[in-house]
Amino acid sequence: MRPVTPAAIFEGDIVVTGTVHSLQESMPPPAPAKGDKPAVALPVPERGVYRDVHSGKKGTCGPWFVGMRNKGLYVSNKNISLAEFEKLRGVCCVYPRRPQCPGWVGIVSADKDGADEKDIPELRRRQTEIYDAVSLEEARQHMDRSSYFIAPSRTFQLSGMPISIWNMTSGAAWLQHATLAIPSATVHPGHSADDLLRAEFSTPTQKISAGITPLKRGILPDTGTFLLDGDVFGFMPLRAAFTSYPTKTTSATEGNCSETVSQGLRCAESLKRAKKCAEELHSKSRGCCGTLADNNIMIHCI
């Protein structure tokens, strides 16, 4: 099946009333003359969410990337039932100007205008693969799968080695000698974003299944953060000799750790380098653990 591509109207730089807008870098518009009606403010595209979501009366499509170089189409409908959203999303999330899509509004936004810029090339590749294989309607169902919509920066790299998990507000350990597994899941549009995925936590004495939202994959292997019951938790490889963990306020009591952070960020250059870096940071830089954690580099503290 040939890939689905959007109409050329998405490349324009004029705000139109037909439900597709383009956000492009341009000179600001002149101030309205006295008596003129003020311009209607454009809704801000919801960046960082790649699945179709319905909440209240609003339906928001995962962005459309196929065939759009360095841009994405962000479509929503602010007054639609869940049933109608699920019925129409296959067509209207891609072609919001079609006659069957009244009330659907599309905004074209450049990839570089969001914090998720580095994730989009991989998401565009995944989406193209889906639309090359199945119909419009089936494609949206494939995009409900976590293997599609969890961004690379939030996809944990887990080797199966024992980890420590702690509350990043209190610094208290939650689980020790644990393993974490997150099976692939399908999340329908009406599902809350607060506990997207079922995670399986195992220790030598217990097994826990809980709904979590992945936040960030850590720079070092087997590290990251996730949301559970409204709290942010971090995890890192178990080190029996260390039981002190960074919190959101630890860095406030630390000195200048900029060089240490630079060293930690270089750890991402390769997996082999990252493993060696973790050992070096633990042996020499635990006094900067809070500042490192602020930069997504997880090590134990003194």
Please report, rounded to a whole number, the percentage of residues in the chain having pLDDT higher than 70.
83
Q: How high is the pLDDT of residue 174?
A: 96
Distances (CA, A) of 74 to 228, 286, 300: 28, 43, 40
Question: Rounded to a whole number, what is the distance in angstroms from the first to the last CA of the chain?
Answer: 58
Q: What DSSP state is assigned to residue 6?
A: -
Distance CA 177, CA 238 (A): 7
Mean pLDDT of 176-190: 94
Checking if the pLDDT of 176 tops 50, the result is: yes
Q: Where are the domains of the chain?
A: 8-151, 156-294
Comparison of pLDDT for 46 and 207, the residue scoring more = 207
pLDDT computed for residue 14 by the predictor: 29
Tell me which of 38-52, 135-149, 200-214 is least confident.
Answer: 38-52
Digit-coded pLDDT (tens) for 69-119: 899 999 999 999 999 999 999 999 999 999 999 999 999 999 999 889 999
Whole-model pTM: value is 0.77
CA distance 241 to 282: 11
| pLDDT computed for residue 270 by the predictor | 65
Is it the case that residue 24 has pLDDT exceeding 90? no
Does the pLDDT at position 284 exceed 90? no
| Greatest mean pLDDT among 135-139, 188-192, 244-248 | 135-139
If you average pLDDT over residues 200-225, what whole number do you get?
94
31-73 pLDDT, tens digit each: 444 555 444 455 567 788 999 999 999 999 999 999 988 999 9
Instruction: Tell me the H-state helices in the chain.
Output: 82-92, 120-133, 136-142, 146-149, 258-265, 271-284, 289-294
